[in-house]
Amino acid sequence: MQISIRQISNRLLLFCLVSAFTWPSNGQANLHSVPVTTLVKAGRLLDPRTGNVLAPAAILIQGDKIKQVGPPSQITDLGEAKIIDLGTATLLPGFIDSHAHLLLDIVVPPEAESRRHSNGEFAPGLLLAIVESPSKRALMGAQLAREDLESGITTVRNLGHSGIDGDSELRDAINAGRVPGPRILASGRKLITQGEYVQNLNPALSDAILQQEFLLIDGVDLARHSVRQNESHNVDVIKVSADENLTLPELSAAVEEAHRLHLKVAVHAIDATSIQTAIDAGADSIEHGNEITDLQLKQMRDKGIFLDLTPTFYGGFFLKITEPSIVMPPAVHDAELSSATRGKKRYDELVQRVLKSGVKFAAGSDMCWSYPGKTRGQASVATFVSLGEARTPALDVIRAITVNAAEMLGWQDRVGAVEPGKFADLVGVAGDPVADITELEHVGFVMKGGQVIRNDFAKH
């Protein structure tokens, strides 16, 4: 009997459809079964929004969502719930890192090599990340994503340096259950002006190298085009790096196009001129903002623009990541130390001005360095804790990485709070994080979407 190609493909299609419904496996196994019910009990539950503590607390979880929150005696509808008892631990929402770079892990090169290869804003470590194999980079991203999750970071907004689609593919792989990691909002390539990035690169290759990492925003047409190009790679957010070259019409065009596509825009801006361009263009968040003026803080508050604080270098960070591997001449070491002290003082002042202004703020780690002795997750959470060292009240630090961050991301309906209807993303610590913010660095329990990632409180 002869059958046509079309008949064969129709039969194959039918076979596949039948198979999909009758042979559930892997991700499909639970498709039609009743979702698992879990009851998590703990000594305390902190609500970062109000600062209220529920003690003792119980959270009923069905599938990946929270169904009920209350004192254990008031939880009904228990059914066949699996019970996880965390004893006296304090629960809080899973952490949100609003400014991450999961596909970048810079090993700071020795001083001499750094000088030899110094190339404008292209530090050798950054350049190497771009020119090496994208497959290698993606696998490293999977490792750093897992390390984030194990430290309690259940949501990440990844803002660039991922290659063309590294972060959106990592997001999809995590969502498909192929690798463990946080929920990811991916920005794809960073939008930049031509600026300094091409200095000293091999001119025959520079465009090809740049295209791996960036999209240009020079001119309003290119700005719109670059937003659309990122959108075609299925990004969740647009990241623009603003410097003094970027014009208001260029950034306004990018923001307008992004908003038309229902994407928020995060703008890296350090100096007052770039910050003003970002405010005037209607950015959704300003990243870093180190040199922001009081007037600009007021403008941001009035317009509802979020400030995303990134105290990455606070407290001599650079020395901490370089000293284990680089022997510095005493003069260089001393210069680094006094620059760290000056930087700390400036950041302390910034934090006080931000708190006084009433501007909405979140926090991001901006972690993209290899930190000797720490995983990416541990290094990132240490950055949040730095905000506390800079005299941010503990509750405000916790808000900055939970409820505030969720609002900044536009995900306030799904993460950032322990409430019915939200994803069951939870973190548990042994002590009281409001009394001691460093508790965040020692999470003993992590749950993402109802799945236990770690539980050091489990009785052995």
User: By the criterion CB under 5 A, which residues form the site for Zn ion?
Assistant: 366
Beta-strand pair 37-42/57-62: antiparallel
Least distance CB 288 / Zn ion (angstroms): 8
The β-bridge partners of 93 are 426
**Would you say 409 or 453 has its CB closer to Zn ion?**
409
| CA dihedral over 448, 452, 456, 458, signed as positive or negative | positive
Least distance CB 77 / Zn ion (angstroms): 44
Least distance CB 12 / Zn ion (angstroms): 47
Tokens in use for 205?
A: 């290759």
Least distance CB 63 / Zn ion (angstroms): 34
Backbone phi and psi for residue 447, each to the nearest 5 degrees, phi listed first = -130, 135
How many other CB atoms are there within 10 angstroms of residue 309's CB atom? 31
Tokens in use for 441?
A: 């660095």
Least distance CB 246 / Zn ion (angstroms): 16
Least distance CB 100 / Zn ion (angstroms): 8
**Would you say 105 or 366 has its CB closer to Zn ion?**
366
**Would you say 39 or 240 has its CB closer to Zn ion?**
240
16 to 9, 22, 31, 154: CA distances (angstroms): 10, 10, 17, 35
Least distance CB 308 / Zn ion (angstroms): 10
**Would you say 122 or 423 has its CB closer to Zn ion?**
122
**Would you say 370 or 438 has its CB closer to Zn ion?**
370
Distance (Å, whole) CA 254 – CA 228: 9
Name, in order, each residue with C-beta under 8 angstroms of 392's C-beta and a sequence gap of 6 or more: 351, 355, 400
Cis geometry, peptide bond prior to residue 329 (ω within 30 degrees of 0): no
Least distance CB 269 / Zn ion (angstroms): 12
**Would you say 287 or 396 has its CB closer to Zn ion?**
287
DSSP-derived secondary structure letter, 189: S
Distance (Å, whole) CA 68 – CA 296: 42
**Would you say 66 or 368 has its CB closer to Zn ion?**
368
Least distance CB 4 / Zn ion (angstroms): 56
- CA torsion 364-369-374-379 (nearest 10°) is -10
Which residue of the chain is nearest Zn ion when measured via CB? 366
**Would you say 365 or 402 has its CB closer to Zn ion?**
365
Distance (Å, whole) CA 294 – CA 310: 18
Distance (Å, whole) CA 395 – CA 290: 22
**Would you say 126 or 452 has its CB closer to Zn ion?**
126
